[in-house]
């Protein structure tokens, strides 16, 4: 495939994608869903930390509980082929066990690892100023999960599968539901965002509307 054709296909996937609220009763194949999740797993993250988990939720009782506190997900929870909870880590400070173990697996040389951790200490302390602030650390993790979220939705669109990112829910209550169900360790992680996948029940009534390119891009 030449570059022009590839670019046309990618742009067509973005034009095809829309926030699908209601899906028809057609399951996504296991292979296709595994492909979408693999794209999420391969996504980039700040300092390569991968501060995420993807929970494919099929338990109907838990779905019902979430639906009660997720005003933006009721139709998707009821009709989507697959519903994914994207979990972000809280324990991502440079001196945490997770941080150390994550990079130890990639850099077994202790001296090099120590120097690497000193660089990340400065990065977190001086540059992005998140050290000692649990909410700031979690928000930093959550920003990374949105990279994976976008990549999964784009990959899905490229193979004709619809999706919808979801923030319309009570975060505190959803975290409580997930903790009680043993899905998350609330000391170390929390819900970042949700996303549904499936096949649209109806076509959008209007074409995609975006600001003109001149309004959003400048060259200096």
Per-run averaged pLDDT (10 residues), the chain, 220 residues: 92 94 97 98 97 98 98 97 98 96 92 95 97 97 98 98 98 98 97 98 88 95
Q: 29: which DSSP letter?
A: P
pLDDT of residue 70: 98
Where is 180: in which H helix or E strand? helix 171-180
- 121 by Cβ neighbours in 10 Å (0-12 / 13-18 / 19+) ranks as middle
pLDDT of residue 172: 98
- 155 by Cβ neighbours in 10 Å (0-12 / 13-18 / 19+) ranks as buried
Q: 93: which DSSP letter?
A: S
pLDDT of residue 148: 98
Positions of CATH 3.40.109.10 in the chain: 22-91+138-216
For the domain spanning 22-91+138-216, the CATH number is: 3.40.109.10
Read off the pTM: 0.95
pLDDT of residue 200: 97
Residue with tokens 């000193």: 118
Helix axes 171-180, 60-69, angle to 10 degrees: 160
pLDDT of residue 208: 86
* Sheet-wide strand order for 82-89: 52-57, 82-89, 189-198, 162-166
pLDDT of residue 1: 73
The number of residues making up the chain comes to 220
Where is 130: in which H helix or E strand? none
pLDDT of residue 205: 82
Nearest partner of 90 among 171, 192, 173, 170, judged by Cα? 192
How large is the greatest C-alpha to C-alpha distance in the chain, in angstroms? 60
pLDDT of residue 102: 95
């Amino acid at each position: 495939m030449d570059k022009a054709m590839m670019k046309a296909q990618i742009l067509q996937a973005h034009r095809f994608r829309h926030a699908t609220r209601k899906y028809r009763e057609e399951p996504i194949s296991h292979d296709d869903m595994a492909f979408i999740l693999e794209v999420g797993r391969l996504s980039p993250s700040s300092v390569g930390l991968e501060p995420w988990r993807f929970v494919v939720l099929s338990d109907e009782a838990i779905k019902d509980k979430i639906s009660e506190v997720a005003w933006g997900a009721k139709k998707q929870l009821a009709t989507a082929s697959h519903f994914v909870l994207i979990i972000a880590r809280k324990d991502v400070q440079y001196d945490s066990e997770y941080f150390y173990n994550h990079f130890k697996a990639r850099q077994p040389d202790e001296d090099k690892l120590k120097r690497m951790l000193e660089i990340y200490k400065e990065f977190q302390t001086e540059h992005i100023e998140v050290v000692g602030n649990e909410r700031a650390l979690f928000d930093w993790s959550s920003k990374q999960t949105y990279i994976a979220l976008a990549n999964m939705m784009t990959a899905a669109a490229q193979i004709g599968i619809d999706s919808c990112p979801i923030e319309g829910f009570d975060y505190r209550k959803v975290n409580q539901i997930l903790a009680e169900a043993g899905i998350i360790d609330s000391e170390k992680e929390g819900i970042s965002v949700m996303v549904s996948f499936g096949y649209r029940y109806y076509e959008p009534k209007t074409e995609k509307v975006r600001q003109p390119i001149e309004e959003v891009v400048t060259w200096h």
